[in-house]
Amino acid sequence: MGMYVINGGHRLEGELKIEGSKNAVLPILAASIINGRESIIHNVPYLKDVNTLLGVLETIGCTCSFQGNTVIVNSRGDLDINIPDKPVREMRSSIILMGAMLARFKKINITFPGGCEIGLRPIDLHLSGLRRLGAKVVESHGYIQCECDKLYGNEIHLDYPSVGATENIMLAAISAEGVTTIQNAARESEIVDLQNFLNKMGAKITGGGSSTIRIEGVNQFHDVEHTVIPDRIVTGTYAVAAAITGGKVILRDIIHEHIKPIISKLEESGCEIYRYDKDISISCNKRPNAVDIIKTMPYPGFPTDMQAQMMALMCTAKGTSVFIENIFENRYKHAEELIKMGANIKIEGRAAIVKGVTKLTGAHVYSRDLRGGAALVLAGLAAEGTTIVDNVDVHIERGYENLDKKLNSLGADITKEK
């Protein structure tokens, strides 16, 4: 179990280029199955989740190479429709392989995905969407068998704008006969990136980024080359790192539109923000103010994936903040660990009440999920003394490329130990 040993109290200063988005690249890698040809994907972050998914693609018969931040996937020939269990249990987003395999082979056998650390995370919307396209889905003893002779376009109304369900349906529908519309679709920026990738491959999709996505089925796909969008959650995490240490950091190669809800809360807390073309500067030269209320919402609302990091910041703020976690029912595990560092947090169901304290103190804490782990690292940067964040390779490294090294390049003092 890897751990970060953080000597707190260093003000961060400098600049960083933001890596490609985990949540954009994972469905794009799954989608690279569909063309049966070559996909060249740039700006791929070097992450545990990316390696796990590339491992699955190789196991089922693709060839994949990772050079610098470019991945080349060759999906020519027959692929194995039986997806290995272990990686699917490790990484929830492997469920996106369903839509991709149905689009190309009309068949997939896969286990139920694991990773329930932030909530139950059912996949009923994925399965009902695929059924609406004509797939026969049999669920038995934790396994899913899904097949059809052909997929047919249909109208699909999602009860909730699920990101994964929207992606799975988009993937399956691109080769269906006729037109599919997804109503109440997720609007996240990663959906738009997937649409762009698929269209470059020959798909006919419009509406990504709005609540209605229209997919006209086609049956010819070609080679594709694409650059993944920057990670808006990683951007937000480094922005909070600047704020919590009273530092000044310039984040390069970002997309302003994608980080608006995060930046707006940082401005409310007193950070100074300057926007340049593709860069942003964040500085905070006084104790941050508490932000009244932070409610997580589907995009373009405040992202649940930034709730924990913002909570770390509010632990050190002047005043009281209230968080309402609307997306996942069990996403406050970091609170218990922050309390070990001296934070004052009370949880009432979906609400967390955070009274800012003047000082956090180093402690031995456990990363229980990806963003919660990142929040503990942020708290450790601001804390007096030494913080040990345990379990970093299980969680944090799923979604951050060299978090320790990148923070050290800005002046942090973090050592990774086994």
Ligand X SMILES: C=C(OP(=O)(O)O)C(=O)O
What positions carry a catalytic annotation? 116
Give least dist CB 23 to ligand X, A.
6
Contact call for residue 163 and ligand UD1 (CB under 6 A): yes
**Buried b / exposed e along 113-148 (16+ C-beta atoms within 10 A):** bbbebbeebebebbbebbebbbbebeeeeeebebbb
DSSP label at residue 63: E
> Could you give the CA distance from residue 67 to residue 53 in angstroms, rounded to a whole number?
16
Check: CB of residue 97 under 8 Å from CB of residue 74.
Answer: no
CB under 5 to 8 A by kind: which of ligand X, ligand UD1, none does 327 bind?
A: ligand UD1
Angle between the N-to-C axes of helices 124-132 and 97-105, in degrees from 0 to 180, rounded to the nearest 10: 20
Looking at the Cβ atoms of 92 and 226, the one nearer to ligand X is 92
Q: Is 300 annotated as a binding residue?
A: no
> Could you give the CA distance from residue 348 to residue 350 in angstroms, rounded to a whole number?
6
Contact call for residue 21 and ligand X (CB under 6 A): no
Give least dist CB 358 to ligand X, A.
30
CB under 5 to 8 A by kind: which of ligand UD1, ligand X, none does 122 bind?
A: ligand UD1
Contact call for residue 164 and ligand UD1 (CB under 6 A): yes
Please provide the distance, in angstroms rounded to a whole number, between the alpha carbons at the two ends of the chain.
6
Q: How far is CA 94 from CA 97, 168, 169, 372, in A?
A: 6, 10, 14, 21
**Among 10, 48, 92, 232, contact with ligand X (rule: CB under 6 A):** 92
Contact call for residue 208 and ligand X (CB under 6 A): no
CA angle 45-20-2, nearest 5°? 40
Interface pattern 2-41 for ligand UD1 (x via CB under 6 A)? ---------------------x--x---------------
Q: Is 305 annotated as a binding residue?
A: yes
Angle between the N-to-C axes of helices 189-201 and 163-173, in degrees from 0 to 180, rounded to the nearest 10: 10
Looking at the Cβ atoms of 91 and 317, the one nearer to ligand UD1 is 91
Can you give the binding site for ligand UD1, defined by CB under 6 A?
A: 23, 26, 92-93, 119-126, 160, 162-165, 186, 190, 304-305, 327-328
Can you give the binding site for ligand X, defined by CB under 6 A?
A: 23, 92-93, 115, 118, 305, 370-371, 399
